[in-house]
Amino acid sequence: MKKKELARKITSWLTLGTFSLQPALAFATEILPDRNAPIEERPLVTETASGNPLVQITAPTAGGVSVNRYEFFNVPERGAILNNSYGLASTELAGYVQGNPNLAAGTARIIVNEVTSANPSELRGFLEVAGDRAGIVIANPNGILADGAGFLNTARVTLATGRTEMDASGNLAAIRVEGGKLSVTGNGLNAQSTDSAEIYARAIEINAG
């Protein structure tokens, strides 16, 4: 994606700092839930028949927000799926996937994916919402690299190098950014299937051709 095309699609908030170069983040485990997170914020991660990571997202709050905490959140080139369907669902990346048992009381309107460890995130493939369309939030204060990233079945994507804050009613109240760098490099960020994509970071690099 060209820089001008990316700029038209993304609204960016640069809260502090300057654009600068950043080396590629070290790629490690793909998606690993935070074992120390409260059980209601701990998703189950399995794999589809075609080998895509499949995240059985947590039950949404009263405000419709599924809050998911991770030690690692990396999207591989083959893509990953956030399962927002209680029943069998068809996906573009992996065909049909079984329903998510966490969603018996209803699906999410926003899916928060937040890294609680010191590990940065690499987004190198498409992240798809299976089932009901929902907004995606990826929050990692350690940094986010988008190199071949893309999103399917979501109206709004938010990438932030910060922490999310929920209010007493279970709504996403704010994202607090105190540091971190977000880089869009190499194969870039494809937001063409979304209505909007937002970036919140202290420093932002856009170097995708």
Domain harbouring 186, CATH code? 2.160.20.10
Inter-residue contact 56 to 31 (CB < 8 Å): no
Mean pLDDT of 128-149: 98
Q: Are 161 and 137 in contact (CB under 8 A)?
A: no
Total domain count, the chain: 1
Token reading at 63: 């405000």
pLDDT digits (tens, 9 = 90+) for 168-201: 999 999 999 999 999 999 999 999 999 999 999 9
Mean of the per-residue pLDDT values of the chain? 89
Sign of the torsion formed by the C-alpha atoms of 97, 131, 151 and 157: negative
Cβ-proximal residues to 135 (8 Å cutoff; 6+ apart), any chain: 109, 110, 111, 154, 155, 156, 157, 158
- Going 186 to 54 to 58 to 117, the CA torsion angle's sign is negative
DSSP 11-47: EEEE-SS-----PPPPP--SEEE-TTS-GGG--EEEE
Question: Is residue 209 over pLDDT 70?
Answer: no
> By residue range, what is the domain housing residue 170?
3-208
CA–CA gap between residue 119 and residue 28 (Å, rounded): 9
Q: How far is CA 139 from the centre of its chain?
A: 7
Q: Is the pLDDT of residue 165 over 70?
A: yes
Average pLDDT over residues 101-105: 98
Select from 7, 16, 20, 4 the least CA-distant residue to 201.
Answer: 16
| Confidence label for 59 from pLDDT (cuts 50, 70 and 90) | very high
What is residue 170's predicted lDDT score, i.e. its pLDDT? Answer: 97
Does 152 score more than 50 pLDDT? yes
CA distance 87 to 131: 8
